[in-house]
Structure 1
């Protein structure tokens, strides 16, 4: 099956972790370290596994993910407040505990964007196609800055904005729909790019014209079942599908260059 040329759409909205940067690996590591310690201290079984990350944490706001995973083990704790110290045994405290681990890894090791994603961003920029970030992470601004790509995205819909605007987590469509509105495009004429099952479901529910799943471990079948129209292993595949690099002097209203 031939892949679509994303420069023919009105905008492309990208998830962050696992799509722009390999921060999903850092998040996975931080969640595993934190929950393995917590489960051991509290005597929770069965043990934490990578399947828990994809089933309960990936793509969700941090506190929603904590609550979902604990609920899967029949554990309920008070929600608490976002300002809770990392030592507190509340949903917010546990989420903040994980963030301490994540922030330390990011500070120590930094982060580099996926080369295929950067190439696609270059092609979209040359074609004059607006781009935005739609991430559940409250660390999105720091990650984008650490990766050196913050200035590429005029619109960043992250966990901080979602909380301020009282928007529910993915898989609810609200964050993608609001990001499209802020970007000034109709979701039906836009692309959403996601690697998380919950994120794909969010974009599909939001009525996006093209939902791209990036398989970084969730599985192509699971992403398709969640609503992805196509699944790729890396965005280099979609960069290769752009018919030719455009230049700033090209007329974006003309379709001659796409034939």
Structure 2
């Protein structure tokens, strides 16, 4: 049983995932992963096709290389991990991940990105209320996405894939990244709220002991988010505004 929607304006701090929560970049990630895995599967003779369900089960919310390893493991495929500077053509975990990143960056730079209307409205409302905010994203491209969407200035801290790599933080669903976000924002996780659309991200925030974990259903499914530890489910961050649903 999920709880009533929390009042984010009374929280000690709010930590947001980025892709799929604040911006529709999850769609760009999904298209990039589909392209790369379709090519990899065809080349390697993997018969079970890659689908959106695979994205949500094995890739969504995780650091890039962990997502590649998790997906390939689901097909009983093991390849060398490689090095982070492997070429996109390398048949390694890092090579496949770098190939996907190149596809993602190409789309982001050619098309740009904008924040969801409801997400921007909530950020503006929380900023006006003086609520400290941060971003906890597994993406190494979080900075470029925040800049492209024009929302970087809303956040006091950003814990992204680059920080996770530098500080050796375990990938979501481990609690490390959300714990580090709360530490950097100088808030007690139990007094803070996490907002996530990925099953792995919800599990990460729940394991970190956040007082409330808002699951944003952009395709993962409310049941899966709830089972991972979401205390409530919304389909749009506008639902969390003070005047939403009579609150």
Q: TM-score scaled to structure 2, two decimals?
A: 0.96
Query: For residue 145 of structure 1, what is the aligned residue in structure 2?
Result: 147
Query: How many angstroms does 1:243 deviate by?
Result: 10
Query: For residue 181 of structure 1, what is the aligned residue in structure 2?
Result: 183
Given the alignment of the two structures, is residue 161 of structure 1 paired with residue 189 of structure 2, yes or no?
Answer: no
Equivalences for residues 66-145 of structure 1 within 5 A: 66-145=68-147
Q: What is the root-mean-square deviation in Å for CA atoms of aligned residues?
A: 1.5
DSSP-derived class of the 1:85 partner: coil
Match of 1:8 among 10, 21, 34: 10
Query: How many angstroms does 1:107 deviate by?
Result: 0.9
Distance 2:35 2:6 in 1: 39
Match of 2:36 among 24, 31, 34: 34
Q: Is the 8 A contact 2:6 2:212 kept in 1?
A: no
Q: Is the 8 A contact 2:36 2:99 kept in 1?
A: yes
Distance 1:42 1:53 in 2: 19
Distance 1:185 1:2 in 2: 22
1:241–1:176 CA distance, 2 compared to 1 (3 A): farther
Q: Is the 8 A contact 2:169 2:177 kept in 1?
A: yes
DSSP-derived class of the 2:241 partner: helix
Query: For residue 196 of structure 1, what is the aligned residue in structure 2?
Result: 198
Query: For residue 249 of structure 1, what is the aligned residue in structure 2?
Result: none
Distance 2:94 2:196 in 1: 25
Query: For residue 172 of structure 1, what is the aligned residue in structure 2?
Result: 174
Q: How many correspondences in the alignment?
A: 245
Q: Is the 8 A contact 1:134 1:179 kept in 2?
A: yes
Distance 2:239 2:5 in 1: 8
Query: For residue 210 of structure 2, what is the aligned residue in structure 1?
Result: 208
DSSP-derived class of the 1:224 partner: helix
Distance 2:181 2:102 in 1: 28
Q: Is the 8 A contact 2:86 2:94 kept in 1?
A: yes
Q: Is the 8 A contact 1:45 1:73 kept in 2?
A: no
Query: How many angstroms does 1:3 deviate by?
Result: 2.5
- When Rg is computed on C-alpha atoms for both structures, the one with the higher figure is 1
Query: For residue 248 of structure 1, what is the aligned residue in structure 2?
Result: none
Given the alignment of the two structures, is residue 224 of structure 1 paired with residue 231 of structure 2, yes or no?
Answer: no
DSSP-derived class of the 1:136 partner: coil
Q: Which 10-residue stretch deviates more, 203-212 or 1-10?
A: 1-10
Query: How many angstroms does 1:27 deviate by?
Result: 0.2
Distance 1:169 1:2 in 2: 29
